[in-house]
Amino acid sequence: MTDTSLAPTGRTTPAAARDLAVEMIDVNKWYGDFHVLKAIDLEVKKGEKIVICGPSGSGKSTMIRCINRLEEHQAGRIIVDGIELTEDLKRIDEIRRDVGMVFQHFNLFPHLTILENCTLAPIWVKKLPKREADEIAMHYLRRVRIPEQANKYPGQLSGGQQQRVAIARSLCMSPKIMLFDEPTSALDPEMVKEVLDTMVGLANEGMTMLVVTHEMGFARQVADRVIFMDAGQIIESNEPNAFFANPQHERTKLFLSQIL
């Protein structure tokens, strides 16, 4: 083995060769003096579904926002689909195209129709002709089962419908990875299921997903792994049955006792 085959971390195999969608190596981030992410190591395989839970303020949003560079990390390495996140802006655009994100508050453009919300990025970022972008958008609106809402405005839809539009809008960019940040926590209880059902469908089709949620039924149903974060660290990571039946750390036990 020659030294030149070694990555700076001492790893010998590039992420792409190991079929990793996301690799975080000793990632640290600060907001001013506040150390928000502490030595995060995370490997996400292509097609893997990961549920991330943990108390409010533990760094869950910050961690997944680093994956599409909505936040910058200050130390360590983040490699997404074989591309390392650095200052190189051109490649950041590539990452943003490949990584879809769905937020707690749907973030639809209120002055655009549902269809226009879905075609905006495909037309302006991917430079697709409008007709093609419309076709793709209608395809995904059918998939989230609201094609009849295409010409309405977000304010005319229920929260659950708006969140399904947000998912369809992301899918219109053909992402390889989908990030979800508490996608159901702003919804009325009767709308949670329709959004979770859409996400389960996506999971079953093989999408790589990182989902911050406290919906533990969803975690049991689709997660390959559940990760528990506290105070900027990954405290525990396990497949769902073991995670719920036999949590290893006191902080995980305490957290689960509060939410289950």
Q: Which residues pair with 233 in a beta bridge?
A: 230
CB of 64 to ligand ADP, least distance (A): 8
CB of 62 to ligand ADP, least distance (A): 3
CB of 83 to ligand ADP, least distance (A): 23
Beta strands across the sheet bearing 34-45: 34-45, 20-31, 75-80, 83-84
Q: How many other β-carbons are positioned within 10 Å of the β-carbon of residue 164?
A: 29
Of 61 and 68, nearer to Mg ion (C-beta) is: 61
Tell which positions 168-227 bind Mg ion, by CB under 5 A. Answer: none
Tell which positions 83-122 bind ligand ADP, by CB under 6 A. Answer: none
**Of 40, 54, 61, 123, which lies in the binding site for Mg ion, with binding defined by CB under 5 A?**
61
- The region that residue 187 occupies, defined by phi over 0 for left and psi between -120 and 50 for alpha, beta otherwise, is beta
Contact of residue 154 among Mg ion, ligand ADP, none (CB under 5-8 Å per partner type): none
- The region that residue 116 occupies, defined by phi over 0 for left and psi between -120 and 50 for alpha, beta otherwise, is alpha
Please choose, out of 57-65, 160-168, 221-229, 237-245, the segment that lies near Mg ion by the rule CB under 5 A.
Answer: 57-65
Q: Is 31 in the site for ligand ADP (CB under 6 A)?
A: yes
The sign of the CA dihedral 167, 238, 224, 82 is positive
CB of 185 to ligand ADP, least distance (A): 11
Tell which positions 51-80 bind ligand ADP, by CB under 6 A. Answer: 54, 56-62
Of 10 and 32, nearer to ligand ADP (C-beta) is: 32
Of 174 and 185, nearer to ligand ADP (C-beta) is: 185
**Residues 6+ positions from 62 with CB-CB distance below 8 Å:** 29, 36, 37, 71
Of 61 and 117, nearer to Mg ion (C-beta) is: 61
Max CA distance (Å), the chain: 62
CA separation for the pair 234, 40 (Å, rounded): 7
CA separation for the pair 137, 122 (Å, rounded): 9
Q: Is 36 in the site for ligand ADP (CB under 6 A)?
A: yes
Residues that bind ligand ADP (CB under 6 A): 31, 34, 36, 54, 56-62
Q: Give contact residues for Mg ion (rule: CB under 5 A).
A: 61
